[in-house]
Chain A
Amino acid sequence: MRPPNRSTRHRSSGIIDFKKRLGATLVALVILVGILAARIIYLQIIRFEHYSVMSNDNRIKVVPRIPGRGMIFDRNGVVLAENYSAYTLELEPLEEEADFWGVVDGISNLIEITNDDRERIQETLARRSRFANIVIRGELSDEEAAIFLANAYTFPKVKLGARLYRRYPFGELTSHLLGYVGRVTDQDLEDLERQGQRSNYLRTDRKGKLGIEGYYESALRGKLGYDYVEVNSKGKTIRTIESDLPTNGKNLYLSIDIRLQQAAEEAFGDRRGALVALDPNDGSVLAFLSKPGFDPVLFSLGITRDNWKALQSSPDRPLVNRAIAGTYPPGSTIKPFFALAGLESGARTASWTMSDPGYFTIKGSKHRFRDWKKNGHGVVDTHKAIVESCDTYFYKLANDVGIDVLHEYSRRFGFGSPTGLDILGEYAGLAPNPQWKQKRFGQKWFLGDTISVGIGQGYNLVTPTQLAVATAGLANGANVFVPRIVQGIQDNRDQELELTTPLPMFSLKLHAENVELIHHAMIDVTRPGGTAAAAAAGAKYTFAGKTGTAQVFSLKGAEYNEAQIDERLRDHALFIAYAPAEHPKIALAVLVENGGHGGSAAAPIARKVFDTYLTPRVPIGEDFR
């Protein structure tokens, strides 16, 4: 492309303008250069003395000091998480990693360095920073430390250090409750940066993940400190000039009673499932268990690839926190809530009865929704429907009140959205209604859908935590509380304990006589003739409960395995309960995956927990309150 011909006249006026602009630009350049010059003269001439002192006489190196992580106690002051100091072998940060592995090999002749250690070192090398030493081996025994010291002269760059490690005395038992402490990932650092917390962490640091450790990270962490140390021209430390001490993290007091965890664990045996127990008076969490758990120590030094793979691929899925992230059909445990919906909406009264032939049919349809009892329960009222878990009653109830009422009462007890527990990763479950189905599947809602929802076997899905919260609400009768595990946060400097206050989620606004009816029905569930009678036999207190059995209709996530397939297709056993029935102090939900029937598989676990909590006992330690 050729440019068009130019006119001289036009250009000359352009040149005048150009010269003017050039002049203005020159002025700007002079000003900018002047600013730079002033700044450089300020640094190099006026502040020369100051910076000389900082650089030449005192060669100050900043060494970070990691704060001690807050401890975690149960409601009786039993330690659930603590720190302990152990010897480490550390290498000073190097510019070039030329002979790094040579040094490691040399040490491995004296002290065992496993392949796991090597893998971990490799990871650290990739993330090392100019400030942090590289840990070659952690947790040396006294003997190993002595062996190293005797040979220390051969490894001038390696030094014996000490670091704080995290210990969980109850191991797997508290793994899903507490989470673990693990190395910060790049993603963590980005998140911390967004929260303005980045400067409180080193690249090689560790932070709480999952559970209480994760949720209360900012309280447990404390604040990074710094030592300003003088080094000689070879970089060796001469003395510490100034210290900006780290602030240790805060201690946490949980409402958990570790003995309940133990009782539940023992009762579960090798079975998979979850148990969540709450105080219905304030929503504080008394027990929180998901089975199976995992060994949190695997994570503390940085988990190795093999261990991670093993945890990830296990068909038991030990990394899934079933109490909050397992969603299950509620089965018959939903019935007390829907019975209340029937009474409150006016569709049922205390004296209302029906005759159960053993099935229910929708008007104008031939399809029979069958009761679990082939020939039916005879004449059934609301009380009997709960005690005997009569399906036909609830099919008809669902049919009569409709999905919108069922949905409303589900939501009122907290189903269908996360409860707000102080552990992250909670699932919402599902309280279905026609709008949801339209959005999710693009399909119309059928009356049949409502009928199946009525016995907790439709689209409805709940987490054990939600079920426990709803049960606590039922026990309380007036309020549903947000479940809370941490009851007190203690500042390490002044020992001051800051208590959390109970947080009401909903006010139930139910009629007392209706609550009373359900209450009595649930008590009779645990008496002779009820579905949980066997589990309650011989108890020194009365308790109210409801069994449930949820059909397994998918094998999501599990690999096909012929030896196990039968067991894994069995129904999930559920049980909700509270005790003592007169003045409930504890409410819980138990789920046993593929456990079979709720009355025989899940209820005995609840019984063990109740016995432990309600039987007079010798106190372990002083209650922190």
Chain B
Amino acid sequence: MTLGSIRSILLKKMTVSMLVAILAVFGISVLVLFSASQGSWEKLSTHLVNILVAIVLMWCIANLPFQYLHRIALPLYFVGLLLLVLTMFIGDASKGAQRWLDLGFVRLQPSELMKIAVPLTLAWYFDRYEKVLSLSNFILAMVLLVIPVALILEQPDLGTAILVLASGFFIIFFAGLPLRVLLAFVVLFLLALPFAWEFLHEYQRLRVLTLLNPYADPLGSGYHTIQSAIALGSGGFFGKGWMNGTQSQLNFLPEGSTDFIFAVFGEEFGLLGILVLGVLYGFIIYKGLFIASLASTLFARLVAISVTLTFFIYAFVNIGMVTGILPVVGVPLPLVSYGGTSAVTLLLGLGILMNIDKNRRLVQT
């Protein structure tokens, strides 16, 4: 086997430009994580293993024959639902939420599975009834979406629920949800807003109020917001330099390697670093939208657009909460935050994108 053929096997099904961007973001991730964990080699090596596993899985799903994506959609969805229900009853509770399921041989978070299963299933459904789409199809699709979202909210895991909801919404929207229906939903939502406030728990109201005035409770709910604003702001244009962020090195910044890693990054690499990350993210999203617009089947097009836009929502919600314009919900910074599960589901999504990219001529009918 020649070097060329090995390269061909490895890269034939990869969208190389996107792969390069992904690896570049991982590069940033490795640097920042090492600094955020104050030079912990142990954490770094775990992170590298996570990345490697995720990349291998991305390669696998990119090399899967395209039709398989159709076939696994529905089974994946129902297995996911079953696991979610199981989690509700026999899941492990940690930090007040019941998210993990121990199946004996592996511990997993069924809600993460739904980030892939929901868009695949909804896309499969719309593709199947493409010719005869009527309002009832959209209603059934919403039901299919709302069930897992409600189960995830119940855990409670607001961050994941938002991402799953977004991934499903994009499919429904691009499948041609009539604009009047969409408009009706928007109006209903706005009308319900004042009443929703009444129904919120005290601590949920607190989160919203914290957003308005984090200094009301500087050691409690406002702490994350204040410290990350100081970290980001003091980074300035050029940043304080790698491993030199005082906020993160002196332990002022909580969860610096997971949900708040963007603050560490902004402190040490400044606006300049953020621009570089922004360009890389921008390229991945641009490429994804490009792939979506060229996709040959409705299924492929919907899946591609959903994966891409959900990736955007990931980044937007995380950066929004770190910069203090959104309430704190647990959403990691895509491809940068420490944590294996989110890396795996994100790269599975991007692997599907590559699969669609490489198969657009093959499936053309």
1/0 per residue, CB under 8 A from A, across B245-257: the answer is 0110011101000
Instruction: Contact check, B246 vs A56: say whether CB atoms are below 8 A apart.
Output: yes
When A6-B131, A18-B301 are in contact, do A52 and B234 touch as well, CB less than 8 Å? yes
Instruction: Contact check, B206 vs A56: say whether CB atoms are below 8 A apart.
Output: no
With A and B bound together, what is the CA distance between A14 and B129 in angstroms? 13
Instruction: Contact check, B236 vs A52: say whether CB atoms are below 8 A apart.
Output: yes
A-chain residues with CB within 8 Å of residue B319 when the two chains form the complex? 36, 40
A-chain residues with CB within 8 Å of residue B292 when the two chains form the complex? 22
B242 within 8 A of A: no
Most A CB within 10 A of own CB, among B130, B231, B254? B130
Within 8 A of A (CB), among B154-185: 173-174, 176
Contact partner of B246 (CB less than 8 A), chosen from A3, A37, A39, A233, is A233
Instruction: Contact check, A226 vs B218: say whether CB atoms are below 8 A apart.
Output: yes
A561 within 8 A of B: no
1/0 per residue, CB under 8 A from B, across A46-80: the answer is 01101110111001011010000000000000000
Within 8 A of B (CB), among A197-226: 198-199, 202, 226
Instruction: Contact check, B128 vs A40: say whether CB atoms are below 8 A apart.
Output: no
B287 → chain A closest CB, angstroms: 14
A231 within 8 A of B: yes
A540 within 8 A of B: no
With A and B bound together, what is the CA distance between A29 and B301 in angstroms? 19
1/0 per residue, CB under 8 A from B, across A350-385: the answer is 000000000000000000000000000000000000
B256 → chain A closest CB, angstroms: 11
Within 8 A of A (CB), among B223-277: 229-237, 240, 246-247, 250-252, 254, 266-267, 270-271, 274
Instruction: Contact check, B325 vs A231: say whether CB atoms are below 8 A apart.
Output: no
Residue of B nearest to A6 (CB): B130
A11 → chain B closest CB, angstroms: 7
Instruction: Contact check, A44 vs B130: say whether CB atoms are below 8 A apart.
Output: no
B305 within 8 A of A: yes
Residue of A nearest to B130 (CB): A6
User: What is the size category of the interface that chain A forms with chain B?
Assistant: 35 or more
Count A-B contacts at CB 8 Å: 136
1/0 per residue, CB under 8 A from B, across A7-49: the answer is 1001100100111011001100100110111011101110110
A299 within 8 A of B: no
Instruction: Contact check, B236 vs A48: say whether CB atoms are below 8 A apart.
Output: yes
Most A CB within 10 A of own CB, among B38, B176, B232? B232
Q: How many interface residues does B have (CB within 8 Å)?
A: 58
B-chain residues with CB within 8 Å of residue A40 when the two chains form the complex? 232, 266, 271, 274, 319, 323
A-chain residues with CB within 8 Å of residue B102 when the two chains form the complex? none
Instruction: Contact check, B236 vs A21: say whether CB atoms are below 8 A apart.
Output: no
With A and B bound together, what is the CA distance between A32 and B232 in angstroms? 19
Contact partner of A235 (CB less than 8 A), chosen from B70, B130, B250, B301, is B250
B-chain residues with CB within 8 Å of residue A196 when the two chains form the complex? 202, 206
Main secondary structure of the interface of A (DSSP, over half): helix
B342 within 8 A of A: no
B-chain residues with CB within 8 Å of residue A62 when the two chains form the complex? 218-219
B-chain residues with CB within 8 Å of residue A235 when the two chains form the complex? 250-251
B298 → chain A closest CB, angstroms: 7
B-chain residues with CB within 8 Å of residue A56 when the two chains form the complex? 234, 240, 246
Instruction: Contact check, A1 vs B231: say whether CB atoms are below 8 A apart.
Output: no
B-chain residues with CB within 8 Å of residue A3 when the two chains form the complex? 70, 127-128, 130, 299
With A and B bound together, what is the CA distance between A56 and B247 in angstroms? 9
Q: Can you name 22 A-B residue pairings with CB atoms under 8 Å?
A: A1-B128, A3-B127, A6-B365, A10-B130, A11-B130, A14-B176, A14-B298, A22-B305, A43-B232, A44-B235, A45-B237, A48-B236, A51-B230, A52-B234, A54-B230, A54-B234, A56-B246, A198-B206, A198-B220, A199-B219, A199-B220, A199-B221
Interface on B for A, CB 8 Å cutoff? Answer: 38, 70, 127-128, 130-131, 173-174, 176, 201-203, 206, 216-221, 229-237, 240, 246-247, 250-252, 254, 266-267, 270-271, 274, 278, 285, 289, 292-293, 298-299, 301, 305, 309, 312, 316, 319-320, 323-325, 365
Interface on A for B, CB 8 Å cutoff? Answer: 1, 3-4, 6-7, 10-11, 14, 17-19, 21-22, 25-26, 29, 32-33, 35-37, 39-41, 43-45, 47-48, 50-52, 54-56, 59, 61-62, 64, 95, 130-131, 193-196, 198-199, 202, 226, 231, 233, 235
3 tightest Cβ-Cβ pairs between the two chains A and B: A51-B233, A55-B234, A199-B217
Interface contacts beyond A51-B229, A55-B233: sample of 15 additional A-B pairs, CB < 8 Å, sorted by A = A3-B70, A3-B299, A14-B130, A14-B176, A19-B293, A40-B266, A44-B274, A48-B233, A48-B237, A51-B232, A59-B250, A130-B254, A193-B202, A196-B202, A198-B206
